[in-house]
Structure 1
Amino acid sequence: MRKLLILLLATLAPAPALAANQVALDNSVFVERVTTDASGKQRVLLEEPKVVVPGDRLVFVLNYRNAGGEPADKFVITNPMPSAVRFAGAGDASPIVSVDGGKAWGALDTLSVIQPDGTRRPAQPADVTHIRWAFQKPIPAGGSGKVMFRGVVK
């Protein structure tokens, strides 16, 4: 059982994101825990995952920094969705997603999935295989920021 948990944790860390130009990326993953104090007030904590179980909510954070001497134009981050995790949104950000391994991209509500019988059905969060952010403005030399997305352990 312990070996299974370690293997699951290894699959939760996203593969290195792909970026153009000289932009350095750093990925982190956290488990979102809700605690209640003595007065009944709830607090949301982000913790490093030691053990995760189905249903745990995860937060993936991708920090980026332009390490080059020039602005990074047409900057794109593409991150595969860990197979053990169901996509649960990206907050206020507007990434596009793929449900077919990165062949086609779009907003989730515009995509569909081919069924075994050849019919199509609307794509759902569990179908997401990749997430992509395409920056509309160049990132200045030395500029940095972060994007994030959420998932739920399957």
Structure 2
Amino acid sequence: MNRINQFTMAFAAAIALAAPLSAQDTAPPVSLTGDVMAETVVVDADGKERVELVQPTTIVPGAKLVFGTDYTSKSAEVVNNFVVTNPLPQAVRLAPDADPALMVSVDGGKTFGALAALSVTNSDGTTRPAAHADVTHVRWVLASIAPGQSGRLTYPAIIR
């Protein structure tokens, strides 16, 4: 199998995982829908470049994707402290331009924090600061969602 086909298959798996891993333990009063878009640079008639998000087709290592989760409250009550956790597909790594305040995990979703505050234990027992390539999950805690309120959560990723 050639390298492009391997990445295309990995990308298909990534799209399947675009939806959040979890939200709440019980049937949540908030609906969630995930998607993946590819970043592409478009040059307009004046020669100016701009970045657009498009449906991904063929992807290659180094291509930038944006994973998104749309949420909509279905509740008649305010929903407090709603947690959305998305696993990063193994075919991607968190992009360097991700929000530094984004809550992430580098241990398979066991613990979360800002990337700059996390570390990874090497096979020899030493530790090092966590890097974007170490991130396994991203998480958002929505403090309050009003009845009928909608929003979008995103994170950028790079194809490995």
TM-score (norm 2): 0.87
Q: Distance in 2 between matches of 1:8 and 1:27?
A: 17
2:83 matched residue in structure 1:
76
Aligned amino acid, residue 41 of structure 1: K
* 1:38-57 Cα distance to aligned partner (Å, 9 max, x none): 53311211111111100101
| Structure 2: tracts of 5 or more residues without a match | none
> How far is the alpha carbon of 1:5 from its aligned partner?
4.5
Partner Cα distance (1:72, 1:150) in 2: 27
CA distance in structure 1 between the aligned counterparts of 2:154 and 2:121, rounded to whole angstroms: 28
What is the match of residue 11 of structure 1? 13
d(CA) in 2 for partners of 1:58, 1:146: 15
Separation in structure 1 between the aligned mates of residue 156 and residue 48 of structure 2, nearest angstrom:
23
SS in 2 for 1:9: helix
Q: Flag structure 1 segments of 5+ consecutive residues without an equivalent.
A: none
1:39 partnered with 2:46: yes
Count of aligned pairs = 152
| Match among 121, 125, 130 for residue 132 of structure 2 | 125
In structure 2, how many angstroms separate the alpha carbons of the residues matched to 1:52 and 1:70?
42
C-alpha displacement of 1:3: 4.9
RMSD across aligned positions (CA): 1.8
**Identity between Structure 1 and Structure 2 (%):** 43
Higher mean C-alpha displacement, 32-41 vs 141-150? 32-41
